[in-house]
Amino acid sequence: MRPYLLILPGLLLFLFFNLWPIVYSIYISFTNANIRNFPQPPPWAPEELKQARLPPDFVGLANYASIFTGPASAGFWNAVFWTLVFVAVSVPAKVALGTFVGLLMSSEKVLGKSVMRAFLIVPWALPLILSVVAWRYVFDPTYGVVNQMLYLLGVSKPPDWFVNKDYAYAAMVIIEAWLAYPFIMTVVIGALANVPRTAFEVAQIDGAGRWAVFTRITLPLIKRPLIYASVMTAVASLQFFLVAFLWNFIQLYDRFMLAYGYYWAFGSPFREYGLAAAVLSISALVISVFMILAIRLTGLMRGMYES
């Protein structure tokens, strides 16, 4: 009995701060909650206010029908498409960059690796808002380093990375790769630390080149940790929102699933909370299904180094 009493406070906190918001959001998705009827006045509010703000009506699957076939469907499917494109582009970029840096920082020929690793992990350690502000200066249309370099290369009119939707989307891919590569790098360095040095020594004796060593020895030995890191960073890309919000939400709200749900809750004229909850519920379902399929297809539950 005592063990259950010890875990009871943590269980209650979990239910209140995690499970209850999810259940309540799903309930809201079946109503017509908006700024005119939600939230409801508190019990001590005047009776006239209570009568003026009637509670939301239960509308069943109307919000979901609007998302799939109704007025909100075009924007939703556009957000789903571009979110998947973002995952397909950003994840390989993050994995390639993180793996390259991880291999470089594991090489015995690199001097001062401990200091360099500390600097390379900075994107992971900095607050996200500080990183986005720094990148906004980098991509500034007038004074930013990127546009100045493009101008020197002969581009007479460099793009506006904040106003143009396509260029803003491209900037998101670059920023996401910069933010996430320290995670991949750390996983690769940790995995390489457990690889026996004899495998590389034998390959050198046999005259194997660097590419052959990487593809036939290094990559197979770190494959499972790398797959785990890839799945985790792919899930993070599916949940991409805050950077786009801080960058220019108006231009990017229909390029990411979570941003599209946020738009209906706080950007639409009447703040359609019910529709927003439906969008975010579907997004959570998509992310959950992706996570389950990725774990099953990659066999991550069998153990990190099992074949």
Give residue 301's pLDDT: 66
Cross-strand bridge partners of residue 58: 31
Bond prior to 141 in cis (omega within 30° of 0): no
Distance of CA 279 to the CA centre of its chain: 17
Residues 275, 66: contact at Cβ < 8 Å?
yes
**Residue 307: pLDDT band with limits 50, 70, 90:** very low
Query: Which of 8-22, 76-90, 154-168 bottoms out in mean pLDDT, i.e. has the lowest?
Result: 8-22
The yes-or-no verdict on residue 72 having pLDDT over 60 is yes
Q: For residues 190-195, give the mean pLDDT.
A: 84
The yes-or-no verdict on residue 180 having pLDDT over 50 is yes
Q: For residues 28-41, give the mean pLDDT.
A: 88
Cross-strand bridge partners of residue 31: 58
Reported as a single tens digit per residue, the pLDDT across 224-253 is 889 989 999 999 999 999 999 999 888 899
pTM of the model: 0.86
Give residue 81's pLDDT: 95
Give residue 204's pLDDT: 72
Alpha carbons 202 and 64: distance in angstroms, whole number = 59
The yes-or-no verdict on residue 70 having pLDDT over 60 is yes
Tokens 């390259």 correspond to what residue? 100
**Residue 117: pLDDT band with limits 50, 70, 90:** confident
- 243-277 residues labelled b (16+ CB within 10 A) or e (exposed): bbbebbeebbbbbbbbbbbbbbbeebeebbbbbbb
Give residue 142's pLDDT: 86
**Residue 303: pLDDT band with limits 50, 70, 90:** low
- In the chain, which residue ranges form alpha helices assigned H by DSSP? 2-14, 20-28, 47-52, 62-68, 73-106, 113-120, 122-125, 128-138, 145-152, 165-193, 197-205, 210-213, 219-221, 223-238, 242-252, 257-262, 273-298
Reported as a single tens digit per residue, the pLDDT across 239-298 is 999 999 999 888 899 999 999 999 999 988 889 999 999 999 999 999 999 988 988 887
Give residue 270's pLDDT: 85
Give residue 262's pLDDT: 93
The yes-or-no verdict on residue 101 having pLDDT over 80 is yes
Alpha carbons 128 and 151: distance in angstroms, whole number = 29
- Angle value at C-alpha 212, between 206 and 218, nearest 5 degrees: 100
Q: Which domains does the chain have, with CATH numbers?
A: 24-195+222-302 (1.10.3720.10)
